[in-house]
Amino acid sequence: MPTAEHESPIQVIRDNPQVIPQLMRVAFDIEMSDDLVVRTASEDFSQLAPTAYRADNVVEIREAGAAKPSLNVIAETQRAVDPKKYRSWPVYLTALYARSQCPCYLVVLCASPKVADWARKPIAIGHPGFALTPLVIGPGTGPLITTTSEAARMPELTVIAALANVTPPTEESLEITHAALATIDNAGHENAQMYTDMVLGVLPKAARKVLEELVNTGTDEYKFTSEPFLRHEAKGKAEGKAEGKAEAVLSILSARGLAVPDEARERIMSCQDLDALDGWLTRALAVDSVERLFQ
């Protein structure tokens, strides 16, 4: 069953197929007209054989006014090395080419460096000169968006780059991601909150805290304005208050010379119940053991 991590980049593309021409230009230097009609197309490549083939997403690109597509892009998310893809990916492309009779590309999004390196290898099927090398978005691709102003112009592409772990989550790159998320939110996109949750969900803990702080406070140029994002601020304030009380409990116990086992320390620091923490603060002044704190 596809995971949230698998579906996240594909969801962004389904919601905003116009991101694909941006991606092809920025990541792979594939030029195309600015006057395009872009839409999600059928993802099913079933053949007469009993095996059914279905890609994660297919985007069809037409010149304005044209009756037929001028280019198709298959977008796949790959989270693990899977040799079976070496058989299915060529089928996707050749079946789509037969159906559309126009150039077709395969883009694979990989957040893992190991998987990205594997996906970049040419797939040789035996016929001389016939090898497929997927176009990979992931670690090693190089930065796609390098400034907050670029992120504001191409916010969905910035989100995809973050989900695919294109660059390490440094403070600078997180500010760029924040600019994109704030732009999407302030434009009133119906899935803006979901995109922010997607990005927060894939970040390491330290990076997640930095981005959450940016969501809460904003920067001079970019701030969240919609009501749904106030929950991040409220959550952050509540967690900060709970953490302060928990640290106060531990400080009192330490000052009184009471040893705090690791299990008890974890219980205290992970508690988000402010009433319980207030009770522990009071009892910490009088108990003769940490065990008595929880009674």
C-alpha pair distances (Å), 99 with each of 43, 57, 69, 84: 12, 16, 11, 23
How far apart are alpha carbons 157 and 18 in whole angstroms?
10
CB 13 within 8 A of CB 22: no
pLDDT at 215: 83
Helix (H), strand (E) counts: the chain: 13, 7
How far apart are alpha carbons 17 and 20 in whole angstroms?
6
Radius of gyration of the chain (CA): 25
Tell me the domain boundaries of the chain.
4-228, 230-293
pLDDT at 112: 94
pLDDT at 49: 45
Q: Is the pTM of this model over 0.85?
A: no
- Helix 230-255 vs helix 274-284: crossing angle, to nearest 10: 10
pLDDT at 275: 84
C-alpha pair distances (Å), 218 with each of 183, 210, 226: 11, 11, 13
pLDDT at 237: 58
pLDDT at 193: 84
Which residues contact residue 259 at a Cβ distance below 8 angstroms, ignoring those fewer than 6 apart? 290
Structure tokens at 241: 């208050």
- From the CB of residue 156, how many other CB atoms can be counted at a distance below 10 Å? 22
CB 253 within 8 A of CB 241: no
pLDDT in tens, the chain (295 residues): 344 555 788 889 999 999 999 999 999 999 888 888 998 886 665 554 445 567 889 999 998 888 888 999 999 999 999 999 999 999 999 999 998 899 999 999 999 999 999 999 999 999 999 999 999 999 999 899 999 999 999 999 999 999 999 999 999 999 999 999 999 988 888 888 889 888 988 899 899 889 888 888 878 788 877 654 455 555 555 666 788 888 888 888 887 788 888 888 888 888 888 888 888 888 888 888 888 888 7
Dihedral sign computed on CA atoms, order 245, 246, 247, 251: positive
